[in-house]
Chains A and B, each alone.
Chain A
Amino acid sequence: MNYDPRSWKVHHGSTHRFDEPAPAIDNGSARPDPARYHDPEFAKAEWDRVFTKAWLLAGPSADVREAGDWMKFDTGAESFIVVRADDGTLKAHYNVCPHRGSRLVSGDVGSQSSFTCPFHSWRFDLDGTNLAVTDPETFRPEVLCHDHNLTSVEVEEAAGLVFIRMDKGGQGLADYLGPILPMLETYQIDRMNPVQYRRSDWAANWKGGIDAFYESYHLHAIHPQTMGIIDDRTHIDLYPGGMSRQFVPLGQPNSHFEDQNAVNPGIEVLLKDAGIDPANWRGDAQNSRAAIAAAKRDRASRLGLDYDRFSDAQLTDSTIFGIFPNAQIGCHPEAVFLHRFKPHADDPGQFTYETTILYRHVDVPGYGAPGWMGLGEEVDLTGETRPDVVHTGLGVPPGMGEVLDQDSDLLPTVQAGARSRGFRGPLWGEQEARLRHFHTTLDRWLGA
């Protein structure tokens, strides 16, 4: 290996445990068959051997804090209800009435003491036990001897996030997440609340979405406007089980950006966000990132926030975790971004991109969300109001800001080429080490 994705010194001599590189994993240099991006048979195998057997990120714990709180989680052709039961434990059920199959809930979140089917008003408690069959005397007893409770699936919580698993068996969630679990825990996501929730349908395979979000190699080409402030010199770590992380340095220029020294307008915005007045600041673009880290640390100690658990890189950068198979979490001290790439029920050429911003409310004057997060004035950051999901259809710009709209424009173009007879399979560089790691893990599950 002549290039080690762990070798770029993004941590400036940090001794913080969090920044320690993971042991190298060699996933080889092969060129995989591109059928994975478009073949319906491949998509079916993926569903049968991966999605039904893996822990899937269903949503934040914040959506199901109190008894009766529930959230709906849709993926592929399936829909689940995750609900906090009266005894405080979490339950997860197929969103399916055992009578004739109807969906029980159609909202995204809610709170109630029992579920009533919209078709014939059968009722179920939060545990999924049947409470009432309407007109039971009109059923032959042998019919009602069949199990008529909801069908439940496994559910566990970790790091403020709820995961479900359709098929029983295999590792518990903590073992499944492995080394990234304690890292995620440093963000105390359980104390955060959703402040923005977007869902949009994209004309690409779900793995095309995973791939694009797993590397910053494309920044210079698709998102040139970020080159002043997002560095593509990065640090990538791979962990067993298809998990990974990547530090995306913010507040310093990209390697392809011409002026590596001037404090450009983008960096000025980030300095201001951290409480530094760019007019009086004397450094250049090579130390603006360090200055932001120091300022955030300083501000945290003034506000009584415990930032000692974070390394400097965690304070400034986007620290992005990949959770196999289809979730990514962009982590910041102030907020985390949950990204999910949901396969389409029938068409391998489509997926649904879902993104949720979870924000930690700090009730101190002068504290707020960094400007680049794009949370408008009208957003209630206190966590009191659970925002509605905004859903945009295929071909509609998702309206998630310039960067994501650029991605949604390009991904169908990548998908169109990836399904061509003329495409012989991807050639991944070490900047794309997370893609290779993800696909290698996927292939392992498919072969299993």
Chain B
Amino acid sequence: MNYPYLLWDVHAGDAHPFNARAPQIDNGTGRPSPDRYHDRDFAAREFEQVFARSWLIACPVSDVKEPGDFAKFDIGAESFIIVRGDDGEIHAHYNVCPHRGSQLVQADTGSITRFSCPFHSWKFSLAGENQEVTDSETFRPEVLCHDRNLTSVRCEVAAGLVFISMDKDIQPLKDWLAPILAHLELYKIDRMNVIQHRRSDWGANWKGGVDAFAEIYHLHAVHPQTQCLMDDRTQIDVWPGGFSRQFVPFAQPSPRFADQEQVNPGIAMMLTDAGIDPASYTGTAQDTRSAIQQAKRGRSDQYDLGYERFSDTQLSDSTVYSVFPNAQLGCHPEAVFLHRFLPNADDPNQFTYDTMILYRHVDAPGFSPPAWMGVSEEVDTTGETRPDIVHTGLGEPPGLGEVLDQDSDLLPIVQAGARSRGFRGPLWSEQEARLRHFHAELDRMMQT
């Protein structure tokens, strides 16, 4: 390895165990076949080999707080209902009536006492047991001897997130998540609520989405407006199982940005967010990130937010985790961004990007989501109101802010080239180490 990316030390301030680098994993230098991005057979096998045998993030726990609360989770051709039972346990079922196959629920979230099929009104308990077959006397007993409960799937909770798995023999979720579980738990996502939820269809393979969100090498080209306040010198850690993380330093300029000293308007906004008045601030752009870290620590003391558990880096930066296979979590003390890249049921050249902001309500004057998160004024940040999912179709700008709209513009262009006969497979740098790590795990699951 001839590029010393491990020498980058992105951590200002005191040493903290959270920032420790993971043991190195060598994923080699191969150039994988680009079939993975467009081949239908690859996509069909991927669903069976990878998605059907993994733990998948279905919803945040906050969506199923009370008995009867349910959330629908769609992925590929499948749809699942995650529901809190009367016993307080969370259950997950295929969203399929055993009678003729109709889906049971169509809403994204809701609260009910039992499920009633829209087709012939068969009834099921929250735990998935058949409670009523309409006109049961018109069925031959042998027909009703076939199992007529809902088909359930494995469902476990970790770090405030509900995961499901179609594989009944899969290892326990906490073992699956082991390398990153303690990290995610620091953010206490179970105390957060969804305050924004967007979903949009993109003209690219789902792995094109994963790839784009797992590196910041493209910032200077696709998102030049971020160069003044996001550094692309980074720390990347990869763990067994396809998991990884990356620190994306905020509030200091990229080395590609011309003016390294001046407190530019972007950084000034971040200072304001942290409670520092940019007008009276006397440092340069080289110290702003530390200043923000210290200001947030001061605010934690004031509001008793318990930020001792976080490193300085965690306070200022975006700490982004990849949860294999298809989720990423952008973590901040105030809020977590959950991104999911959902394969299309039939077309490997499409995926659905689903993103939600989970926010920890702090009932203190002057405390609100940082402005860069783009949460509009009218949003209820208390967690009382679960916002509807806003869904935009293929080719429509997702309306997720300038950066994400730029990504959604570019990804179909990448997809178009990646499926060309002329493309011989990706050439990944060490800035793209998370991509290589993700694909290596994908290949391992495809082959076993």
> Residues of A with Cβ closer than 8 Å to B?
1-3, 5, 29, 31, 34, 37, 211, 217-218, 220-222, 255, 349, 410, 413-424, 426-431
List the A side residues contacting B102 at CB < 8 Å.
410, 413-414, 417-418
A427 in complex: contacting residue of B106, B143, B166, CB < 8 Å: B143
Closest B-chain residue to A418, C-beta based? B101
Query: Are B135's CB and A420's CB within 8 A?
Result: no
In this complex, which of A211, A220, A419, A422 has the most chain B Cβ atoms within 10 angstroms of its Cβ?
A: A422
Query: Are B94's CB and A421's CB within 8 A?
Result: yes
List the A side residues contacting B78 at CB < 8 Å.
420-422
Query: Are A419's CB and B99's CB within 8 A?
Result: no
In this complex, which of A211, A220, A221, A417 has the most chain B Cβ atoms within 10 angstroms of its Cβ?
A: A417
Question: Interface residue tally of chain B, by bracket?
Answer: 35 or more
Query: Are A221's CB and B52's CB within 8 A?
Result: no
Min CB–CB distance A390 → chain B (angstroms)? 26
Contact with A along B123-150 (1 / 0, CB 8 A): 0000000000111011111111011101
Let me know if B153 is at the binding interface, CB within 8 A: yes
Closest B-chain residue to A412, C-beta based? B103
Query: Are B100's CB and A29's CB within 8 A?
Result: no
Query: Are B101's CB and A423's CB within 8 A?
Result: yes
Query: Are B119's CB and A221's CB within 8 A?
Result: yes
Query: Are A429's CB and B101's CB within 8 A?
Result: no
List the B side residues contacting A31 at CB < 8 Å.
143, 146
In this complex, which of B96, B141, B144 has the most chain A Cβ atoms within 10 angstroms of its Cβ?
A: B96
3 tightest A-B CB contacts, nearest first: A422-B94, A418-B101, A29-B142
Closest A-chain residue to B144, C-beta based? A427
Q: Which of B213-262 contact A (CB under 8 A)?
A: none
Query: Are A414's CB and B100's CB within 8 A?
Result: yes
List the A side residues contacting B425 at CB < 8 Å.
none
Query: Are B101's CB and A414's CB within 8 A?
Result: yes
Let me know if B31 is at the binding interface, CB within 8 A: no
Query: Are A414's CB and B119's CB within 8 A?
Result: yes
State the CA gap A414–B96 with chains docked (Å): 8
A423 in complex: contacting residue of B98, B137, B346, CB < 8 Å: B98
Query: Are B121's CB and A221's CB within 8 A?
Result: yes
Min CB–CB distance A408 → chain B (angstroms)? 14
Q: Which of B86-135 contact A (CB under 8 A)?
A: 93-104, 106, 117-121, 133-135
State the CA gap A418–B142 with chains docked (Å): 21
Query: Are A423's CB and B140's CB within 8 A?
Result: no
Known interface pairs A37-B101, A429-B143, A431-B138; A422-B96 also in contact (CB < 8 Å): yes
Query: Are A416's CB and B146's CB within 8 A?
Result: no
Let me know if B79 is at the binding interface, CB within 8 A: yes
List the A side residues contacting B117 at CB < 8 Å.
221
Query: Are A410's CB and B139's CB within 8 A?
Result: no
List the A side residues contacting B94 at CB < 8 Å.
417, 420-423
Known interface pairs A414-B119, A416-B79, A421-B52; A2-B140 also in contact (CB < 8 Å): yes
Min CB–CB distance A211 → chain B (angstroms)? 7
Query: Are B97's CB and A217's CB within 8 A?
Result: no
List the B side residues contacting A426 at CB < 8 Å.
99-101
State the CA gap A220–B134 with chains docked (Å): 10
List the A side residues contacting B135 at CB < 8 Å.
217, 255, 429, 431
Let me know if B77 is at the binding interface, CB within 8 A: yes
Query: Are B95's CB and A417's CB within 8 A?
Result: yes
Contact with A along B156-191 (1 / 0, CB 8 A): 000000000010000000000000000000000000
Query: Are A220's CB and B121's CB within 8 A?
Result: yes
B147 in complex: contacting residue of A418, A424, A431, CB < 8 Å: A424
Query: Are B79's CB and A29's CB within 8 A?
Result: no
List the B side residues contacting A414 at CB < 8 Å.
100-103, 119
Given A221-B119, A417-B104, A430-B139; 15 other pairs, CB 8 A cutoff? A3-B139, A29-B140, A217-B134, A218-B119, A413-B106, A417-B94, A417-B95, A420-B77, A420-B95, A421-B166, A422-B93, A423-B98, A423-B101, A427-B99, A427-B146
Known interface pairs A221-B120, A418-B101, A420-B94; A3-B143 also in contact (CB < 8 Å): no
Closest A-chain residue to B116, C-beta based? A221
Closest A-chain residue to B100, C-beta based? A426
Closest A-chain residue to B146, C-beta based? A31
List the A side residues contacting B134 at CB < 8 Å.
217, 220-221
Let me know if B151 is at the binding interface, CB within 8 A: yes
Known interface pairs A3-B138, A420-B79; A222-B119 also in contact (CB < 8 Å): yes
Query: Are A430's CB and B96's CB within 8 A?
Result: no
State the CA gap A218–B144 with chains docked (Å): 18
List the B side residues contacting A37 at CB < 8 Å.
101
Closest B-chain residue to A220, C-beta based? B121
Known interface pairs A413-B106, A414-B101, A420-B78; A428-B118 also in contact (CB < 8 Å): no
Closest A-chain residue to B74, C-beta based? A416
State the CA gap A34–B77 with chains docked (Å): 14
In this complex, which of A2, A413, A428 has the most chain B Cβ atoms within 10 angstroms of its Cβ?
A: A413
Closest B-chain residue to A3, C-beta based? B138
Min CB–CB distance A40 → chain B (angstroms)? 10
Query: Are A416's CB and B140's CB within 8 A?
Result: no
Min CB–CB distance B35 → chain A (angstroms)? 20
Query: Are B77's CB and A419's CB within 8 A?
Result: yes
Min CB–CB distance B76 → chain A (angstroms)? 10
Query: Are A413's CB and B144's CB within 8 A?
Result: no
Query: Are B137's CB and A3's CB within 8 A?
Result: yes
Known interface pairs A421-B78, A429-B138, A431-B135; A413-B143 also in contact (CB < 8 Å): no
Closest B-chain residue to A406, C-beta based? B118
Closest A-chain residue to B121, C-beta based? A221
Query: Are B140's CB and A211's CB within 8 A?
Result: no
In this complex, which of B95, B117, B135, B166 has the most chain A Cβ atoms within 10 angstroms of its Cβ?
A: B135
19 pairs, A vs B, C-beta closer than 8 Å = A34-B101, A217-B135, A221-B117, A414-B103, A416-B79, A417-B101, A418-B96, A420-B78, A421-B78, A422-B93, A422-B94, A422-B96, A423-B94, A423-B151, A426-B99, A427-B98, A427-B139, A429-B138, A429-B143
List the A side residues contacting B99 at CB < 8 Å.
426-427
Min CB–CB distance B11 → chain A (angstroms)? 45
